[in-house]
């Protein structure tokens, strides 16, 4: 009898925990992935319009919670392109800096790290993450393929990057 009571209390909790990651449910992730497929595409080389970026803006926490299993066989490029548009807004950069460790997809984490670094917004922890990524053959290869000729420039800039003071990080 005690086992049945215990199981009835524990199993629902475990099922809920399995479906949540950082407060984001699997349903929220699926809905976001479906939304990305429907966002309006831009013209002239832009993959997403300004309206699409605005529409996706509230879903930034969901984007950061996606992992390689969630994206699965989906093309990662739309999520990278969406990240590019979202990164152009200061409040989104600030949010990602505060939640950088919560980014689950390894490629999205690299992309956000580079975009924040390029924007001059990377925290010392993000800079260290990028430096460590350059030491990893797999991550370094991903960065090289993504950045092309700009990869060697990133390597040089990261080699010269100095940690920012705490005052700079909090906006003084």
Cβ burial 128-155 (10 Å sphere, 16+ → b, else e): ebbeebbeeeebeebbbeeeeeebeebb
The pLDDT of residue 42: 79
Q: Which residues of the chain have pLDDT under 50?
A: 1-21, 162-172
Q: How far is CA 161 from CA 37, 56, 63, 131, in A?
A: 37, 32, 28, 10
Burial of 99 (0-12, 13-18, 19+ CB in 10 A): middle
Query: What was the pLDDT predicted at 16?
Result: 38
Per-residue confidence (pLDDT) for residue 46, from 0 to 100: 67
Instruction: Write down the pLDDT at residue 170.
Output: 38
pLDDT at residue number 171: 39
Long-range contacts of the stretch 93-96 (C-beta < 8 A, 24+): 93/119, 93/121, 94/121, 95/60, 95/61, 96/60, 96/64
According to DSSP, the residues that pair with 21 across neighbouring strands are 24
Please, which residues bridge with residue 25 across strands? 20
* 123 close to 97: Cβ distance less than 8 angstroms: yes
Q: How far apart are CA 83 and CA 61, in angstroms?
A: 11
Q: What pLDDT shows up at residue 66?
A: 96
Cβ neighbours around 74 below 10 Å, total: 13
**117 touches 130 (CB < 8 A):** yes
161: closest CA among 127, 130, 116?
Answer: 127
pTM for this predicted structure = 0.78
């Amino acid at each position: 009898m005690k086992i049945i009571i215990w199981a009835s209390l524990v199993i629902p909790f475990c099922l809920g925990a399995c479906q949540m990651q950082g407060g984001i449910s699997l349903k929220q992730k699926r809905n976001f992935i479906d939304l990305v497929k429907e966002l309006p595409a831009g013209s002239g080389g832009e993959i997403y319009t300004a309206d699409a970026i605005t529409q996706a803006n509230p879903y930034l926490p969901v984007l950061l919670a996606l992992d390689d299993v969630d994206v699965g066989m989906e093309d990662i490029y739309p999520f990278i392109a969406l990240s590019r548009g979202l990164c152009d807004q200061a409040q989104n950069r600030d949010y990602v800096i505060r939640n950088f460790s919560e980014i689950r997809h390894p490629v999205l984490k690299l992309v956000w790290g580079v975009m924040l670094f390029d924007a001059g917004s990377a925290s010392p922890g993000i800079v260290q993450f990028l430096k460590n990524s350059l030491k990893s053959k797999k991550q370094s290869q991903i960065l090289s393929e993504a950045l092309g000729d700009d990869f060697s420039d990133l390597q040089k800039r990261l080699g010269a990057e100095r940690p920012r003071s705490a005052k700079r990080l909090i906006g003084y």
